[in-house]
Structure 1
Amino acid sequence: MKTLISFITFSFIAFSVFASKVDTLVVHSNSMNKDIKNVVITPDSYSKKGQAYSVIYLLHGAGGDYKDWLKKAPKIKAYADLYNVIIVCPDGAKTSWYFDSPIDSTMQYETYVSEELVTQIDKSYNTKATNKNRAIAGLSMGGHGALYLAFKHSNIWGVAASMSGGVDIRPFPRSWDIAKRLGSQAENPETWENNTVINLVHLLDGKNLTFLFDCGVDDFFYDANKRLHEKLLERNIPHDYIERPGGHTNKYWKNSIKYQMLFFNDFFESSNIK
């Protein structure tokens, strides 16, 4: 009997953790004229005829794809259940940087994520289709992308977060194909200045977006994140900033996402208090 009870208990725990459903949604991008795959995780409670859900968009880093978050932090499936949210993981190409590239018509990922994908998710799933119920986060290139898109489109996302984000691309003129998206920094300095997160602070009024960013002190993006924090302090822009031990690693990101999910949950709960 003891063995049976142990088995039933284990089965219940396993079922609870993996009760969420993982789908692949293919969305056609008119701006790029191609089909793009996206992971969509719905909580166990999800029903198209039932309640509406808040949505969290998670952006992958350079070299990744739409399945990357499931590999790096498989617990996001449990977080969908725990916080009763829909999680969407778009494919941002290997190195799109989530820009609308001025030189490559096949790399219009700002338009894709902020307009085409959001519209299709709201059509295909039972969502709370307001910025107060949408969050966006990402790691590394995706951390840049999350703040870049949220700073520019606070009417779409009310809350955002970045972990280990490349929030200042200018120190890396030859890295991660950024020059293929914006043109070389030497020949297009203004384009680089206008498309780095640290230079988009002027878009914030301190009221239109709630956001968090964190970075490990051993990360090569640490200096940029610290400078962004200092710039926001100088301009009295409310934000949450965390620095903790760690580098640019999966171990760091698996730990970080736990806190960011809680941050989003607190925002959703406070935004929906009647």
Structure 2
Amino acid sequence: MVSLLRTARRALLALAAASAFASPAEAHAQTTGRVRVDTLWSNALRTRKQFVVYLPASYDREPARRYPVAYYLHGLWGDEWNWVRNGRLDAAMDSLVAAGGPEMIVVMPDGDDSWYTTWNALVTIDACQRDSTRKEPAAAYCVPWPHYDDYVARDLVAKVDSSYRTRADRRHRGIAGLSMGGYGAVSLALRYPDVWSAAASHSGFVAPLLDAAGPFDASRPPRYATDVAAMATRWRDYWASLPFAFGRDTMGWWARDPGRIAARLQRTDAARMPALRLDVGAGDRFLDQNRALHFTLDSLRVAHAYAEHPGAHDWTYWRAHVPESLAWLGARLADGARP
């Protein structure tokens, strides 16, 4: 017995010594996650796509451990690197974990300028290649069959769950995004409640048909446009992709409206309504859209978190508030929490 105690004591002393004399690089590696690139073949898009993955610091040290997953979607004209290079999401995750927050895998896919939906109309590959000014190869950007919702919800989730040590159920899976990605996060969570249990939107395009006639009046229901021509004028700087994704008539836009999707889910499967969180800057051009969806969710008695902060539609705002959505998702996806 004395021999065993002496051996154990020596092992502990050796471990303590090794920790004390670890190089700064080694100490840093023990407390920070790592970012890597991966790819998948998407049956929904019929092309190969790239995605970026943040793995928590303990991922390599604890090979039997499984993790919740948060999916973070970029905005229009963005790419899969935006959340790391512009939003410093990896540093935000490291800080949250260092402060005692739960660890998660974070997946950031390439969503093109897709609005994360199945498109209402098709554009030919030739036309797409002529119009595309993106740096990525046209073969990956100009997809032959734009089912971007199934690409994220089915193909990407299946790839991540088969390649990484995830908690592969809706209870441990959330989604978030900014601007176009905020729309994607909310609409995907509402349309695929079997996949995600929580969704967060920063500055989301979340009430696309909201009428532009004056500021939103929270004392009465939102007013919506009845003519897509008005949308073409209002969103002319986004119009290269909007009519393909949403359609050229209000029927196509209404089918993709988060408020209407939430109303349908509340009627048919309220038990699987995802936890929702919306935030937006007071100087953001989508402020009224977020207020309108907030009003609609309140009217439906759908529980959700809502916040307005100083700021505009830019990376200064998103960098400041991504720690909040990460912490909110982490708390809901952790074991023992209620989404």
Do they superpose with TM above 0.5? yes
Map of 1:23 onto structure 2: 36
Mark the CA change 1:109 to 1:271 in structure 2 (over 3 Å): closer, same or farther.
farther
> Does structure 1 retain, via aligned residues, the 8 Å contact 2:35–2:90?
no
1:1-274 aligned within 5 A: 14-15=28-29, 19-47=32-60, 49-79=63-93, 82=97, 83-93=102-112, 95-104=113-122, 105-170=144-209, 172-173=231-232, 174-176=236-238, 177-184=241-248, 188-205=249-266, 207-208=271-272, 209-269=274-334, 271=336
Map of 2:218 onto structure 1: none
> Does structure 2 retain, via aligned residues, the 8 Å contact 1:39–1:89?
yes
Map of 2:221 onto structure 1: none
**Secondary structure in 2 aligned to 1:45?**
coil
CA distance in 2, matches of 1:236, 1:245: 27
> Does structure 1 retain, via aligned residues, the 8 Å contact 2:331–2:337?
no
Aligned positions, number: 262
Q: Which has the higher contact order (CA 8 A, sep 6+)?
A: 2
Map of 2:136 onto structure 1: none
Percent identical across equivalent pairs?
30
Q: Which amino acid aligns with 1:256?
A: H
Q: Which amino acid aligns with 1:97?
A: W
TM-score by length of 1: 0.88
Q: After superposition, what is the alpha-carbon deviation per residue over 1:54-98, rounded to whole angstroms, capped at 9, x for unaligned?
A: 0000000000011111112224245168132101000001x1000
How much does 1:183 deviate?
Answer: 3.0
The worse-fitting range, judged by mean Cα deviation, of 42-51 and 22-31 is 42-51
CA distance in 1, matches of 2:242, 2:262: 21
How much does 1:242 deviate?
Answer: 0.6
TM-score by length of 2: 0.72
Larger Rg: 2
> Does structure 1 retain, via aligned residues, the 8 Å contact 2:45–2:147?
yes
How much does 1:130 deviate?
Answer: 0.6
CA distance in 2, matches of 1:235, 1:90: 31
> Does structure 2 retain, via aligned residues, the 8 Å contact 1:151–1:204?
yes
How much does 1:103 deviate?
Answer: 1.8
Q: After superposition, what is the alpha-carbon deviation per residue over 1:74-128, rounded to whole angstroms, capped at 9, x for unaligned?
A: 24245168132101000001x1000111322432110100000000100000100
CA distance in 1, matches of 2:337, 2:262: 27
